[in-house]
Amino acid sequence: MHKNFKNIDKIVYGKGAFNQIDDILAAKRDENDKFMVFIVDKYFEGKELADRIPAHAEDMVFFEDIDQYEPTTDQVDNLRDKILAEKGVPAGIIGIGGGSIMDIAKALSLMVTNEGSSQLYQGLNLVKKAGVYHMGVPTVAGTGAECSMTAVLTGPVKKLGLKCDWTVFNQAVLDPELLSTVDTNQWFYTGMDCYIHCIEAESGLYFNAYSKAYGDQALALCREVYLGENAGQNLENDEKLMIASLFGGLSLTYSEVGACHALSYGLSKILGTRHGYANCLAFYHLEEFYGDAVNEFKSMIEKHNVDLPQGLSKEWSEETIDAMAEVAYNLPHMWNHAIGLDWKEKWTKEDIKKLYRRL
């Protein structure tokens, strides 16, 4: 069976695109109980961007703290309950922030029309009813969350996406100027999420011409941004990174992630480590999976003087490593891609624990 991929309905891209949001929303404001919900990274509270959010009097604006942990099913359930209790079903939901905010906005758009906890819908095609209109406005680039079919949430049992056609944004607003305030470490870790998506997509069973076409472009852009003559944080590179993120996400949509994301999910689920950073911690030690790309990644770290601690596993108990390996092992689609459909004959939880001990 081939994937039947649902793309974003509409995309506006370019400097200052943020200023078009109010016009775009105008056509949707009459739906449901006629108000919009803005979910914004708490980082922007009190900052210039917060004043530019085109919220009308009837709208709700939530500044969500996602600094420490990945978004959770509880967080989404609580937001949903509050919105429904206070104002009813929104006309639309707009997420302004990084990958975590994208995930919350996507999940929330589904949960305002579907009953019960979001935990019930973690998986493929479990959502019963279409959600409400939703828009993604990324302020960091690399996660690909602006185009993915999943809203990744961490629940009490698993870190897994709500994945269905209705999850995909109706509108993405890609304004490279919004990337200008990202700090260097975050710029690096999140951009590397894109780089790693492309490398993982091309290193496995599900790779194909669709995935390669987008992945090659995204990798070329990442190399210009992180290793090129004009490498570093500037508007020209922000324009490139925003498109790299989108294309990396599209490459991935038609392929799959592998060992690095499996380990990364274990780190996030058990220790709450942020996604992009967790990927970097793992990717550094996965030469047998990703070969020269790991050396290229190391040269990017060096060039930008990024913090990437080593020896972390010395502080982890056997129990912690075991728990992380359990999470990673239970992502068969990633191991199918990375190792092959017979991966269970070649690969054990013990092997995964050995990888964690390298970190």
Closest distance of CB 299 from Fe ion, Å: 21
Q: In the complex with Fe ion, which residue's Cβ is closer, 84 or 243?
A: 243
- Which of helix, strand or coil describes residue 170? coil
Alpha carbons 141 and 137: distance in angstroms, whole number:
10
- Tokens read off for 296: 């290229």
Closest distance of CB 193 from Fe ion, Å: 4
Closest distance of CB 276 from Fe ion, Å: 7
Closest distance of CB 263 from Fe ion, Å: 12
Q: In the complex with Fe ion, which residue's Cβ is closer, 59 or 193?
A: 193
CA atoms within 13 A on the CB side of 168: 18
| One-letter-per-residue 3-state SS of 306-355 | CCCCCCHHHHCCHHHHHHHHHHHHCCHHHHHHHHCCCHHHHCCHHHHHHH
| Contacting Fe ion within 238-297 (CB under 5 A) | none
> In what order do the strands lie in the sheet containing 159-163?
123-124, 159-163, 150-154
Q: In the complex with Fe ion, which residue's Cβ is closer, 17 or 101?
A: 101
To which H or E segment does residue 160 belong?
Answer: strand 159-163
Instruction: List, in sequence order, the alpha helices (H) in 157-311.
Output: 184-202, 209-227, 235-253, 259-271, 275-283, 287-290, 292-303
Q: Which amino acid is at 284?
A: Y
User: In the bound complex, which residue of the shown chain has the CB atom lying closest to Fe ion?
Assistant: 193
Does residue 146 bind Fe ion (CB under 5 A)? no
Beta strands 92-97 and 133-138 are: parallel
Q: In the complex with Fe ion, which residue's Cβ is closer, 98 or 131?
A: 98
Closest distance of CB 196 from Fe ion, Å: 7
From 16-24, 192-200, 305-313, 315-323, give the range in contact with Fe ion by CB under 5 A.
192-200
| Contacting Fe ion within 193-212 (CB under 5 A) | 193
User: Residue 143 to residues 2, 151, 247, 275, 281: CA-CA distances in angstroms?
Assistant: 24, 12, 11, 9, 16
From 1-9, 32-40, 60-68, 191-199, give the range in contact with Fe ion by CB under 5 A.
191-199
Closest distance of CB 143 from Fe ion, Å: 6
What x-and-dash track marks residues 150-189 binding Fe ion by CB under 5 A? Answer: ----------------------------------------
∠ CA 273-274-278, nearest 5°, is 70
- Tokens read off for 157: 């049992």
> How many residues lie near Fe ion (CB under 5 A)?
1
Q: In the complex with Fe ion, which residue's Cβ is closer, 90 or 215?
A: 215
Q: In the complex with Fe ion, which residue's Cβ is closer, 77 or 193?
A: 193
- Which of helix, strand or coil describes residue 84? helix
Q: In the complex with Fe ion, which residue's Cβ is closer, 193 or 238?
A: 193
Q: In the complex with Fe ion, which residue's Cβ is closer, 114 or 211?
A: 211
What secondary structure letter does DSSP report for 72? B
Closest distance of CB 275 from Fe ion, Å: 6
What secondary structure letter does DSSP report for 266? H
**Residue 295, C-beta contacts closer than 8 angstroms, at least 6 positions apart:** 287
- Say if residues 316 and 267 touch (Cβ distance below 8 Å): no
Q: In the complex with Fe ion, which residue's Cβ is closer, 193 or 202?
A: 193
> Which residues are at the interface with Fe ion (CB under 5 A)?
193
